[in-house]
């Protein structure tokens, strides 16, 4: 059997599987207890929920106490398109080709491939359909039903995901020059971009790189993707991307705005309110406190 070495040094994945079992058992707990214990199993420390200082601690407080009515719209992968269009123009929204709950109702003859199929309430879920055989395989699978059954908001106690009905969405698939388009993630605090993360794929391998808003490469990494060792060139549209990210996030204390640059156009992929559930690894550890200092958290712990 081929041994798979994970980033955390777990050669068989046993410890990670054990954590998932523990997290399922903890699901019955109230939000604050669940969040504290899950955080501890990941980092070896409990989050400071009373006087949060780091980005990861503040994210847990947001999950517990921030009930901004805009949040469900921002994380709904369909509803967010009008939100984006109203703020920066409909040209920045990826076109929806179909929306519903049953893929058997789709007129596939009218769908021009390639496309992306995903749930509107999920994270890290979805498939690319590039040829007719991909459609057949998806329809024969139980993936769509599993997506709709997933209660994403319960897994990490991310309130906003549970405030709308889950649906399935078919979107146009954006394409880069040689692979999936690079994913530019703008960390926006109180309307100002303070950090840029780039996720890119080359020959099937995922890499990450971090930059300051002026385009300077930063020696940072999360450990969940291999650091890009070669030169990563930011697009010429970077100033426009920053402007779009700041307009979209103008009245939010923090949101990560995920953008794509394709064919001289900029598209908003999604708005991420709870990156990585706010657990350790969601941002570079070296900047956890620094990003926390940048975040003027609106939600306050009781008392």
- pLDDT per residue over 186-195, tens digit each? 999 999 999 9
- pLDDT per residue over 120-153, tens digit each? 998 778 999 999 999 999 999 999 999 999 887 8
User: Is the same domain home to 128 and 251?
Assistant: no
Q: In the listed set 172, 204, 220, which residue is the last one of a domain according to the structure?
A: 172
CATH number at 297 reads 3.30.470
- Give residue 100's domain range: 95-172
User: Is the same domain home to 74 and 203?
Assistant: yes
User: Is the same domain home to 235 and 266?
Assistant: yes
Domain count, the chain: 2
CATH number at 128 reads 3.30.1490
Question: Which of 120, 93, 95, 123 is closest to 260 using CA atoms?
Answer: 93
User: Is the same domain home to 109 and 156?
Assistant: yes
User: Is the same domain home to 85 and 100?
Assistant: no
User: Is the same domain home to 82 and 99?
Assistant: no
User: Is the same domain home to 207 and 166?
Assistant: no
Q: In the listed set 125, 142, 172, which residue is the last one of a domain according to the structure?
A: 172
Q: What is the mean pLDDT of each run of 10 residues along the chain (303 residues)?
A: 39 72 85 95 95 98 97 97 97 96 96 95 88 96 93 89 96 74 95 96 84 95 78 92 98 97 92 95 96 96 78
3-state helix, strand and coil shares in percent for the chain, rounded to the nearest 5: 35, 20, 40
Residue 28 in domain:
no
């Amino acid at each position: 059997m081929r041994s798979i070495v994970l980033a955390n040094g777990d050669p068989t994945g046993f410890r990670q599987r054990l954590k998932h079992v523990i997290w399922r058992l903890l699901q019955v707990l109230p939000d604050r207890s669940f969040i504290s214990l899950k955080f501890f199993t990941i980092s070896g420390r409990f989050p400071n929920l009373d006087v949060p200082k780091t980005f990861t601690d503040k994210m847990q407080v947001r999950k517990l106490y921030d009930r901004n009515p805009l949040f469900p719209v921002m994380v709904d992968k369909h509803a967010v398109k009008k939100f984006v269009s109203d703020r920066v123009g409909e040209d920045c929204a990826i076109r929806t080709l179909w929306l519903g709950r049953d893929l058997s109702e789709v007129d596939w003859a009218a769908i021009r491939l390639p496309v992306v199929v995903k749930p509107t309430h999920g994270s890290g879920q979805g498939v690319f359909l590039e040829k007719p055989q991909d459609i057949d395989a998806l329809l024969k699978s139980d993936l769509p039903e599993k997506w709709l059954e997933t209660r994403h908001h319960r897994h990490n106690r991310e309130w906003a995901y549970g405030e709308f009905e889950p649906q399935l969405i078919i979107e146009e698939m954006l394409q880069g020059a040689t692979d999936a388009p690079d994913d530019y993630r703008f960390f926006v605090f109180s309307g100002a971009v303070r950090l840029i993360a780039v996720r890119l794929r080359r020959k099937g391998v995922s890499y990450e790189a971090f930059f300051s808003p002026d385009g300077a490469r930063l020696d940072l990494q999360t450990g969940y993707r291999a650091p890009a060792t070669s030169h990563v060139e930011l697009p010429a549209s970077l100033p426009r991307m920053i402007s779009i990210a700041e307009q979209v996030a103008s009245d939010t204390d923090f949101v990560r705005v995920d953008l794509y640059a394709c064919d001289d156009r900029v598209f908003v992929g999604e708005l991420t309110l709870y990156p990585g559930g706010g657990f350790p690894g969601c941002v570079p550890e070296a900047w956890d406190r620094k990003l926390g200092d940048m975040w003027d958290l609106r939600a306050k712990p009781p008392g």
